[in-house]
């Protein structure tokens, strides 16, 4: 059932899930489907977490926040943990473009085409490319390798910043990875992406989340929106439920889909954990945040086909630190052609979303006036960047808005507006949470691997499985 905002919850549950990101929702769906009583609490007024959207101008314009591209594995994940209809709505993005001073490449982002480009355009020996992909394919999560991304690229393509840019820049854009991050995170994410290209959801995020909500309700998951959990309750060293609006709701297990640091340090409280675990949690580094510029075109406006995902930069080389600069010239344009992206909407308009990675602190430290000025500048620079592809774009625009790390933080409660959770070390703390405090589980973006649409959904499934084992022990 869907609780109304004013409804009071008087029942006990097997599992309470805090947060309805793709991780929280996937866990809720699996547990509900398996017959457990599940309560899904979401602080926002809609489900989805980062998998979200917003309307403007009386719903004439709709913008997706994080539907830019995900790996093919999402089809299997949706078929297995959701339903066939959702899985069947996933389609491939055929046209990914890179336009920067080092190269101009159009690709379907498959391993075959990447190999061809690296051999024919960059002049790398085919055996080296094959050896690189085979090395990535063999990388195993349980390997204890300390190799960094930088070392990985130097091993196979020494001194080739252009090749590194081709391989690494999309991943840096996608999840904030740098050359210092462990190569295993790159290996897993890139191998996933490269197996069969980049995918999206036909119909838009609103359509997808609507279908997921129907499925959750069908599987008897109780949902309450505008329900911001204040506290995870612990008794005798076990999680026993949550406090919502000052009222205790009891459960045998609690799964938090919020940020791992907030889950341990704020929602639960460090007094419930061993000192070493608290220290490890405090030491977790957050990932970077992101800025977007949302551009909606006028009714009937059309644009030339410029590709679906365009990675563009004026910076001469690949430099992950510069990709995070406040004054950045590197951005990704996601172009939503209405017939392909929202065929179900009559007169849907073209939408273009520009994304850049950035540091929260660069935006946080600005005065309100500086913040507004910086946002206006970002919009102006973005439109100028787009004019290189569509010279008359300025005249076609009807709605233009910008979001910054502060916007991300406000809507998702993620500290410092982190858009991909935490760096690698967050994974260990997250996975050990229920081993440290029985009954308390975590399935939110951590460790680069368990983030993004696919990583988050799969992590929800992993944690649902762990919860079922815990419930099976007579918790
Ligand atoms: C701008 C942007 C672009 C992105 N683009 C892509 C992309 O193209 N491809 C891709 O794969 N990934 C992308 N991502 C990342 C991807 O969207 C996320 O990694 C993924 O959706 C996160 O899911 P999650 O399960 O970790 O939960 P989240 O989406 O983080 O959701 C957590 C939920 O918990 C709720 N919550 C937190 N605390 C409480 C509380 N106390 N009480 C109640 N509710 C609470 C929040 O309101 C939120 O709804 C992007 C992210 C951003 C920000």
Tens digit of pLDDT for each residue in 316-332?
888 777 666 667 678 89
Q: Is residue 29 part of a domain?
A: yes
Between the CA of 334 and the centroid of ligand 1 the distance, in Å, is 18
- The reply to whether ligand 1 has any atom less than 6 angstroms from the CB of 242 is no
Those residues with Cβ within 8 angstroms of residue 287's Cβ, 6 or more apart along the chain or in another chain: 175, 176, 418, 419, 420, 421, 422, 423, 445, 448, 451
276 has pLDDT over 90 = yes
The confidence score (pLDDT) of residue 426 equals 94
- The reply to whether ligand 1 has any atom less than 6 angstroms from the CB of 169 is no
* Pocket residue to mutate for ligand 1, from 43, 45, 48, 50, most atoms within 8 A of Cβ: 50
Which residue in the block uniquely carries the two structure tokens 């480009």? 117
Residue 475's pLDDT band (cuts 50, 70, 90) = low
194 has pLDDT over 70 = no
18 and 39 inside one domain? yes
Mean pLDDT for the stretch of residues 103-125: 95
393 and 450 inside one domain? no
Mean pLDDT for the stretch of residues 78-83: 98
For the stretch 171-189, pLDDT in tens is: 888 777 889 988 988 888 8
332 and 431 inside one domain? no
pTM over the 0.85 mark: yes
154 and 217 inside one domain? no
405 and 304 inside one domain? yes
The span from the CA of 59 to the CA of 425, in Å, is 41
Mean pLDDT for the stretch of residues 99-119: 94
For the stretch 427-471, pLDDT in tens is: 999 999 999 999 999 998 998 888 899 999 999 999 999 999 999
Q: Which of 403-412, 414-423, 464-473 has the lowest mean pLDDT?
A: 414-423
> Which tokens go with 171?
């991943």
Percent pLDDT > 90 in the chain is 76
Q: Is residue 202 part of a domain?
A: no
- What is the pLDDT of the chain when averaged over all its residues? 92
Between the CA of 412 and the centroid of ligand 1 the distance, in Å, is 7
Q: Which of 389, 412, 435 is the last residue of a domain?
A: 412
CA nearest ligand 1 atom 36, residue: 19
Q: Is residue 390 part of a domain?
A: yes
Q: Which of 143, 170, 193 is the last residue of a domain?
A: 193
* Contact between residue 71 and residue 175 where contact means Cβ atoms under 8 Å apart: no
Paired sense of beta strands 38-41 and 247-256, if any: unpaired
The span from the CA of 200 to the CA of 208, in Å, is 11
Between the CA of 127 and the centroid of ligand 1 the distance, in Å, is 39
The confidence score (pLDDT) of residue 94 equals 87
305 and 394 inside one domain? yes
For the stretch 132-164, pLDDT in tens is: 999 998 887 667 678 999 999 999 999 999 999
Q: Which of 171, 193, 215 is the last residue of a domain?
A: 193
394 and 308 inside one domain? yes
Percent pLDDT > 70 in the chain is 97
Cβ count near 420 (within 10 Å) = 27
295 and 406 inside one domain? yes
The span from the CA of 183 to the CA of 372, in Å, is 38
CA nearest ligand 1 atom 4, residue: 66
Those residues with Cβ within 8 angstroms of residue 137's Cβ, 6 or more apart along the chain or in another chain: 191
- The reply to whether ligand 1 has any atom less than 6 angstroms from the CB of 66 is yes
Q: What is the CATH number of the domain that holds 308?
A: 3.90.660
* Contact between residue 212 and residue 25 where contact means Cβ atoms under 8 Å apart: yes
354 has pLDDT over 60 = yes
- The reply to whether ligand 1 has any atom less than 6 angstroms from the CB of 49 is yes
Q: Coil, strand or helix: which one is 73?
A: helix
Q: Is residue 102 part of a domain?
A: no
Q: Count structural domains, the chain.
A: 3
Between the CA of 120 and the centroid of ligand 1 the distance, in Å, is 39
474 has pLDDT over 60 = no
166 has pLDDT over 60 = yes
148 and 215 inside one domain? no
Q: Is residue 3 part of a domain?
A: no
Structural domain range at position 406: 55-92+286-412
For the ranges 168-172, 303-307, 414-418, the maximum mean pLDDT occurs at: 303-307
Q: Is residue 316 part of a domain?
A: yes
Q: Is residue 6 part of a domain?
A: no
Q: What is the CATH number of the domain that holds 241?
A: 3.50.50.60
- The reply to whether ligand 1 has any atom less than 6 angstroms from the CB of 51 is yes
298 and 407 inside one domain? yes
Q: What is the dihedral of CA 141, 145, 147, 153, to 10 degrees?
A: -60
274 and 337 inside one domain? no
């Amino acid at each position: 059932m869907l609780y109304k905002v004013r409804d009071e919850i008087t029942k006990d549950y097997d599992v309470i899930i805090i947060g309805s990101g793709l991780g929280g929702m996937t866990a809720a769906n699996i547990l509900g489907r398996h017959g457990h009583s599940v309560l899904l609490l979401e602080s926002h007024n809609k489900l989805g977490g980062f998998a979200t959207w917003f309307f403007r101008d009386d719903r004439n314009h709709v913008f997706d926040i994080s539907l830019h591209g995900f790996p093919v594995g999402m089809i299997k994940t949706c078929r297995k943990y959701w339903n066939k209809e959702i899985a069947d709505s996933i389609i491939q993005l055929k046209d990914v473009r890179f336009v920067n001073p080092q190269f101009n490449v159009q690709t379907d982002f498959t391993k075959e085409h990447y190999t061809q480009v690296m051999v024919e355009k960059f002049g790398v020996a085919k055996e080296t490319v094959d050896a690189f992909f085979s090395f990535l394919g063999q990388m195993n999560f349980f390997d204890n390798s300390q190799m960094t991304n930088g070392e990985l690229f130097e091993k196979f393509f020494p001194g080739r910043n252009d090749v590194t840019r081709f391989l690494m820049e999309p991943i840096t854009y996608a999840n904030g990875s740098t050359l210092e991050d462990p190569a295993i995170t790159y290996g897993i994410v890139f191998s996933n992406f490269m197996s069969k290209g980049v995918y999206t959801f036909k119909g838009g995020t609103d359509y997808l989340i609507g279908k997921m909500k129907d499925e959750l309700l069908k599987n008897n998951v109780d949902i309450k929106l505008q329900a911001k959990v204040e506290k995870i309750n612990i008794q005798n060293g076990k999680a026993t439920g949550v406090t919502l609006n000052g009222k205790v709701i009891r459960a045998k297990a609690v799964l938090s889909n919020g940020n791992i640091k907030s889950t341990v340090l704020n929602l639960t409280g460090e007094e419930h954990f061993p000192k070493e675990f608290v220290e490890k949690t405090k030491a977790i580094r957050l990932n970077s945040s992101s800025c977007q510029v949302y551009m909606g075109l006028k009714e009937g406006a059309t644009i030339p086909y410029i590709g679906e995902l365009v990675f563009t930069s004026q910076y001469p080389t690949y430099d992950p630190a510069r990709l995070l600069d406040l004054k950045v010239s590197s951005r990704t344009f996601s172009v939503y052609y209405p017939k392909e992206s929202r065929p179900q909407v009559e007169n849907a308009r073209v939408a273009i979303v520009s994304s850049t990675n950035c540091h929260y602190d660069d935006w946080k430290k600005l005065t309100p006036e500086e913040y507004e000025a910086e946002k206006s500048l970002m919009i102006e620079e973005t439109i100028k960047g787009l004019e290189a592809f569509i010279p008359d774009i300025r005249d076609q625009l009807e709605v233009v808005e910008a979001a910054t790390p502060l916007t991300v933080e406000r809507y998702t409660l993620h500290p410092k507006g982190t858009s991909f959770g935490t760096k690698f070390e967050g994974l260990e703390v997250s996975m050990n949470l229920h081993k440290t405090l029985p009954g308390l589980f975590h399935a939110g973006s951590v460790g680069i691997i368990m983030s993004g649409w696919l990583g988050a959904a799969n992590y929800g499934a992993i944690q649902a499985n762990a919860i079922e084992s815990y419930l099976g022990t007579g918790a």
